A and B are shown apart, each in its own frame.
Chain A
Amino acid sequence: MAAFTSSISQRPPYLSIALVSLCSLAYEILLMRLFSIIQWHHFAYMIISLALLGYGISGTVVGIAQRHVLAKFRLVYFSCLFLFGLSSIVCFLVAQSIPFNAEEIFWDSWQAIYLLLIFLLLALPFFFAATAICVTFLRYPELVSRIYAVDLFGAGAGSLVVILLLYVVFPLPALVIISLLGMLAAFISCFELNLINKKWLLSGISLTMIVIALMPIFSTLNISPYKSLNKILTINGTKIITQLSSPLGLISVVASDTVPFRHVPGLSFHANQEPLNQLAVFTDADNMTVITEKPDRLDQLAYLDQTSSAFPYHLRSLSKVLIIGAGGGTDILQANYHKIPAIDAVELNPQLIELVDHHFKKYTGELYQQKNITLHQGDARDFLTRTKQHYDLIQLALIDAFNASTSGLYALNESYLYTIEAFQLYLQHLKKDGYLAITRWIKIPPRDTLKIFVTAIDALKQSGIHSPGQQLLLIRSWQTSTIIIKNGVFNAEEINQARLFCEQRSFDIVYAPGGFSSETNQYNQLNQPVFYSATQSLLSEKRASFLEHYKFNLIPATDDRPYFHQFFKWSTLAEMLQLRHKGGISLLESGYIIFIVTLAIATLSSVILILAPFGFFRTQTAKNNRKIKRVTVIFYFLAIGLAFLFIEIAFLQKFILFLHHPIYSVAATLTAFLVFAGIGSYWSGSLAKLHLRQKTLKVSVLAIVLISLSYLLLLPHLFDFLTSVPIAIKILLTILLIAPLAFFMGMPLPLAIASLSQHEQSLIPWAWGINGCASVISTVLATLLAIHLGFTIVIILAIFLYISILFVFPDVQITKN
């Protein structure tokens, strides 16, 4: 290896480390996007979580082979960067060609093997990136705090870069850019490491970069044939006419020359009018919604009056309506059909607005520009906390897709639109006698509908209503249910209107004040009138017992546990698994199960990865005196790995409620955590030198505990107080609030590694691997804990973990020898 024989630079390759860290974090986020498009979000979550075990694997491998690795540091470092750049794109392209079908996983055991192959392939790039950093720690142990700081700075920049990149280019070209940046890191390392024969190496890299840049010409995203976009494209005459990309999703607009889409969920059997022409809009190749062609006459929209969501318009005359989740405009057209003079509409995704208002403005007749419509781009709760408007009707549209919703695939998705606090906010913005209407898909046995019902009861009770049953009305078609929560008591006229509306459309009244037992199961019959009996139980003193014994989780979501879609109960798992082949496969809430499997695999793999190098250490001990207890290393690095991400994830969620936009929250929170933790790490370097490690650790842990606890107490009030400040100020405040917390969180890892480097350097890669494994477990475990206990508990657990590390600091003082 002539290229690696010149003298080693005394300065670590900071620039290439920063760049590879940037790339690996950007790659992680990008992979989530890519797999959400070609597969489904929850499988994307599983695959990427497990692929990150590449970090743990690197620690174990470097730990075992450290002598060889150190001897050939530059060869290893350069190779890792080069291989990261190359494998980031090649591994994805190979992985997406594996015929994995998420839908078949409960039927076909081969699918588990395909999944394993995908995860192993995608672990490779992370393995190379982590190994590059790990070997640098090993080579420059006295500069660990600086190297770690650079690593964190790079990662912080990576989270911003990938979000910006996804606004500018499509996911596949974004992958090429990340891959090229990885190769650029290898390019830079040639100079940083002072490699001779640079010419040859640089030529090789340049050639590889050209090949990578050309890859998208020969490859496209291999989207699962079972996603609705691909299914619709099998029909002759359908084609994608527009595609837009953003971090929120890949939007594809499909037109059909021959077969109209006729997308009207929940349409009554009695509807005799054909829907207007539509364009189908898919987000991440699924989740179909439509953009409807401008009607020539209002009566052409009459079919929209044949759905359960039209119900509130029949209760009385309405003048001011708010539509949450305007999407392609169907609910606005429904309001237009009912001649509503003032419609406010909120849509989170600017690209959906762009489609209606810009790309297809002729087609839609500039729907959002109509005089009676005011469109607000942003989050609904953000809009409602700012506005002083009050409405006759707030309509929460059916925003998720039927199949994904009914398969339990959204179990892990947080939603702040369906929490008790959200319902209270909606109720505050209703005029006297105004209505909040929420439409959901019907599931059998009932899930969403009942959870909405019980959430409404709790929201009303917490708003000081003693008899919530007087303010609720619930109807259902065979496919959808619509609940009306009134800001006042329903009167006889409204109940008569409800009866008439349902009778004309063959819908059933599930619940109305006064009892309607004979009308709850007449048009859309179930074996037992389970909707009726459940709503009756939920409003009676039997509620607690019903919730306990119902086989799905119906406990309302809150802002602290925003998992509305999580219906899984452990107590029914055995029964559902038993019914798997007996027509009961759909009872399994697959999103949650996959999540648990991910946690189990991550934990098991981590145990193996952490324990594997023990044999190696035993032989090492014979040669060198054992100075540091292994158990302290395991516990310390596990604890800080878990605690760091617990706090990061929990506060990221908490700041969503402040910034009211998942993208702003991820960008601001993640970047702030990583960059300021980097500064903290850098700062801790000078203190570590002064042999003040334990003291510095105590100060940092105390600061983390105090700041976290004070944020738990103060942030909700602060968010309320600052609710109306401009978004730019909010982002700035977010960064300022996270800065001190992250600063101190950046210290424990470099402090401990500095201690290891002084006393037992050979343990550094192992510690790095343990920390990597803990990070993987942490992301999954934090979500699991949040689902069941809430984010506040996740933060409290992290505080305990941080306190615990004070007792297990891996220092020579606490060893026996």
Chain B
Amino acid sequence: MLKAIKVGFFVNFLIFLFNFSVVFADDFAMQRQLLVKQIESEVKATSLYLDKEALDPKVMQVIASVHRHLFVPEHQRSYAYENRPLPIGYGQTISQPYIVAIMTDLLKINKQSKVLELGTGSGYQAAILSQLVDQVFSIEIVEQLGKKAKERLARLGYDNVQVKIGDGYYGWEEHAPFDAIIVTAAASHIPPPLIKQLKEGGNMIIPVGTAFMTQQLLLINKQQDGKIVSKQILPVRFVPVTGKH
């Protein structure tokens, strides 16, 4: 009898845990949808600078589907769907989802694209990209971060992402050229080998700023004639001179 009670209690406890996690999972899904709505409205407000009213719906779908809470430390999970950067250790952050969405959109990638990422971090950006392109190659210079991200991406089934630990300055020669490159690791300048590994017509995006403050996005386009043109994008609707002038 006592044993039956114990087993019953145990089963009930498991059901409770299951329900609890379902509630949490539902909660996260709802938060993701809210986040997407928030990003959409902010993009609309910044449309003048992005030259578009809305981001690519495919990008927004992926933002809505990738579980950001699985890419942040345990103690940060409750903030995972707030539109802000979060610390992930080693002085690094997972970017603000709004910035992630804009950067991904600016790369102008498709299902056949091959993308190089410098600065894997938690792996969130690579996970987003993996849903949109054929292959993602990601390089992380901080060994501990790189190992964790590699293991996480594999565990979550992002099979088309390859992570390498090392110096990203020379890009990933054996898989070059790339349709798009995203450089999230800080550098004093844009490594010339990366520009070489960018396909003609391809885009490279670099967020400029500190870990918690993206000041601008640098979009580099390698034109068909090989000419390099950069575009500095302020990810916010802000006119530096008041209308009176």
How far does the alpha carbon of A262 sit from the alpha carbon of B185 in the complex, in Å? Answer: 14
Of the residues A103, A260, A542, A550, contact of B213 by C-beta under 8 Å: A103
Which of B18-26, B65-73, B105-113, B225-233 makes up part of the contact surface? Answer: B225-233
Residues of B within 8 A of A523 (CB): 228-230
| A527 at the binding interface (Cβ < 8 Å) | yes
Contact A407 B192 (CB under 8 A): no
Contact B237 A527 (CB under 8 A): no
Contact B230 A582 (CB under 8 A): no
Contact B233 A403 (CB under 8 A): no
How far does the alpha carbon of A347 sit from the alpha carbon of B74 in the complex, in Å? Answer: 48
B181 to chain A, nearest CB (A): 13
| B10 at the binding interface (Cβ < 8 Å) | no
Nearest chain A residue, comparing its CB with the CB of B86: A107
How far does the alpha carbon of A583 sit from the alpha carbon of B215 in the complex, in Å? Answer: 8
Contact A444 B215 (CB under 8 A): yes
Nearest chain B residue, comparing its CB with the CB of A508: B230
Contact A444 B209 (CB under 8 A): no
Q: By CB atoms of chain A within 10 A, which of B46, B83, B141, B188 has the most?
A: B188
| A340 at the binding interface (Cβ < 8 Å) | no
| A446 at the binding interface (Cβ < 8 Å) | yes
Contact B229 A584 (CB under 8 A): no
Residues of B within 8 A of A443 (CB): 215
Contact A406 B209 (CB under 8 A): yes
Residues of A within 8 A of B235 (CB): 583-584
B210-226 interface bits toward A, Cβ cutoff 8 Å, 1 = contact, 0 = none: 11111110101000000
Contact B220 A269 (CB under 8 A): yes
Contact A269 B240 (CB under 8 A): no
Contact A582 B237 (CB under 8 A): yes
Contact B240 A552 (CB under 8 A): yes
Nearest chain B residue, comparing its CB with the CB of A446: B240
Which of A229-237, A311-319, A676-684 makes up part of the contact surface? Answer: A229-237
Check A445/B90 contact, CB under 8 A, given A264-B189, A267-B189, A527-B48. no
Contact A583 B96 (CB under 8 A): yes
Residues of A within 8 A of B208 (CB): 406
How far does the alpha carbon of A537 sit from the alpha carbon of B241 in the complex, in Å? Answer: 12
How far does the alpha carbon of A403 sit from the alpha carbon of B213 in the complex, in Å? Answer: 10
| B45 at the binding interface (Cβ < 8 Å) | yes
Contact B188 A263 (CB under 8 A): yes
Contact B91 A225 (CB under 8 A): yes
| A276 at the binding interface (Cβ < 8 Å) | no
Contact B190 A267 (CB under 8 A): yes
Check A551/B240 contact, CB under 8 A, given A259-B167, A586-B213. yes
B29 to chain A, nearest CB (A): 22
A208 to chain B, nearest CB (A): 36
| A271 at the binding interface (Cβ < 8 Å) | yes
Residues of A within 8 A of B238 (CB): 445, 551, 575, 579, 584, 587
How far does the alpha carbon of A107 sit from the alpha carbon of B228 in the complex, in Å? Answer: 36
Of the residues A227, A235, A546, A581, contact of B83 by C-beta under 8 Å: A581
Contact A583 B245 (CB under 8 A): no
How far does the alpha carbon of A253 sit from the alpha carbon of B210 in the complex, in Å? Answer: 22
B47 to chain A, nearest CB (A): 11
| A611 at the binding interface (Cβ < 8 Å) | no
B139 to chain A, nearest CB (A): 11
| B234 at the binding interface (Cβ < 8 Å) | yes
Of the residues B142, B144, B186, B236, contact of A584 by C-beta under 8 Å: B236
B187-202 interface bits toward A, Cβ cutoff 8 Å, 1 = contact, 0 = none: 1111110010000000
In the complex, how many residue pairs between chain A and chain B have their CB atoms under 8 Å apart? 169
Nearest chain A residue, comparing its CB with the CB of B244: A549
A306 to chain B, nearest CB (A): 9
Interface of chain B residues 39 through 98 with chain A (CB within 8 A): 42, 45-46, 48-49, 79, 83-85, 87, 89-92, 96, 98
How far does the alpha carbon of A267 sit from the alpha carbon of B169 in the complex, in Å? Answer: 14
Q: What class of interface size applies to chain A in its complex with B? A: 35 or more
A290 to chain B, nearest CB (A): 9
| A226 at the binding interface (Cβ < 8 Å) | yes
Of the residues B79, B191, B213, B242, contact of A549 by C-beta under 8 Å: B242
How far does the alpha carbon of A444 sit from the alpha carbon of B233 in the complex, in Å? Answer: 8
Check A582/B240 contact, CB under 8 A, given A104-B212, A107-B84, A527-B49. no
Residues of B within 8 A of A542 (CB): 245
| A77 at the binding interface (Cβ < 8 Å) | no
Of the residues A403, A525, A583, contact of B232 by C-beta under 8 Å: A525
B200 to chain A, nearest CB (A): 14
Residues of A within 8 A of B220 (CB): 269
Contact A586 B83 (CB under 8 A): no
Contact A258 B167 (CB under 8 A): yes
Nearest chain A residue, comparing its CB with the CB of B168: A259
How far does the alpha carbon of A270 sit from the alpha carbon of B232 in the complex, in Å? Answer: 18
B55 to chain A, nearest CB (A): 13
| A762 at the binding interface (Cβ < 8 Å) | no
Residues of B within 8 A of A225 (CB): 89-91
B92 to chain A, nearest CB (A): 8
| B182 at the binding interface (Cβ < 8 Å) | no
How far does the alpha carbon of A549 sit from the alpha carbon of B239 in the complex, in Å? Answer: 11
Of the residues A104, A267, A478, contact of B218 by C-beta under 8 Å: A478
Residues of B within 8 A of A545 (CB): 244-245
B215 to chain A, nearest CB (A): 4
How far does the alpha carbon of A270 sit from the alpha carbon of B216 in the complex, in Å? Answer: 22
How far does the alpha carbon of A716 sit from the alpha carbon of B207 in the complex, in Å? Answer: 46
Contact A270 B228 (CB under 8 A): yes
B96 to chain A, nearest CB (A): 7
| B99 at the binding interface (Cβ < 8 Å) | yes
Contact B234 A549 (CB under 8 A): no
A681 to chain B, nearest CB (A): 47
Contact B90 A234 (CB under 8 A): yes
How far does the alpha carbon of A230 sit from the alpha carbon of B211 in the complex, in Å? Answer: 13
B187 to chain A, nearest CB (A): 8
Contact B234 A444 (CB under 8 A): yes
| A813 at the binding interface (Cβ < 8 Å) | no
How far does the alpha carbon of A225 sit from the alpha carbon of B229 in the complex, in Å? Answer: 34
| B143 at the binding interface (Cβ < 8 Å) | yes
How far does the alpha carbon of A322 sit from the alpha carbon of B36 in the complex, in Å? Answer: 55
B129-144 interface bits toward A, Cβ cutoff 8 Å, 1 = contact, 0 = none: 0000000000001111
Residues of B within 8 A of A506 (CB): 228-230
Contact A445 B234 (CB under 8 A): yes
A227 to chain B, nearest CB (A): 8
Of the residues A478, A552, A571, contact of B230 by C-beta under 8 Å: A478
| A96 at the binding interface (Cβ < 8 Å) | no
Q: By CB atoms of chain B within 10 A, which of A225, A525, A586 has the most?
A: A586
| A384 at the binding interface (Cβ < 8 Å) | no
Nearest chain B residue, comparing its CB with the CB of A99: B87
Contact A269 B228 (CB under 8 A): yes
| A600 at the binding interface (Cβ < 8 Å) | no
How far does the alpha carbon of A545 sit from the alpha carbon of B13 in the complex, in Å? Answer: 71
How far does the alpha carbon of A263 sit from the alpha carbon of B186 in the complex, in Å? Answer: 11
Check A546/B209 contact, CB under 8 A, given A235-B141, A525-B232, A586-B214. no
A498-530 interface bits toward B, Cβ cutoff 8 Å, 1 = contact, 0 = none: 000000001000000000000000111111001
How far does the alpha carbon of A98 sit from the alpha carbon of B8 in the complex, in Å? Answer: 45
Contact B236 A103 (CB under 8 A): no
Contact A551 B91 (CB under 8 A): no
| A101 at the binding interface (Cβ < 8 Å) | yes
A residues near B (Cβ < 8 Å) are: 101, 103-104, 106-108, 225-227, 230-231, 234-236, 258-260, 262-267, 269-272, 402-403, 406-407, 442-446, 478-479, 506, 522-527, 530, 537, 542, 545-546, 548-552, 571, 575, 579, 581-587
Selected A-B contacts with CB under 8 Å, 18 pairs = A103-B210, A104-B212, A107-B84, A225-B89, A234-B144, A259-B141, A262-B188, A267-B189, A272-B192, A407-B210, A506-B230, A523-B229, A525-B230, A526-B232, A551-B240, A583-B96, A586-B216, A587-B236
Ranked nearest first, the 8 interchain pairs of A and B with the lowest CB-CB distance are A583-B235, A267-B189, A445-B240, A584-B236, A549-B245, A225-B91, A586-B215, A583-B236
B residues near A (Cβ < 8 Å) are: 42, 45-46, 48-49, 79, 83-85, 87, 89-92, 96, 98-99, 102, 141-145, 167, 169, 186-192, 195, 208-216, 218, 220, 228-242, 244-245
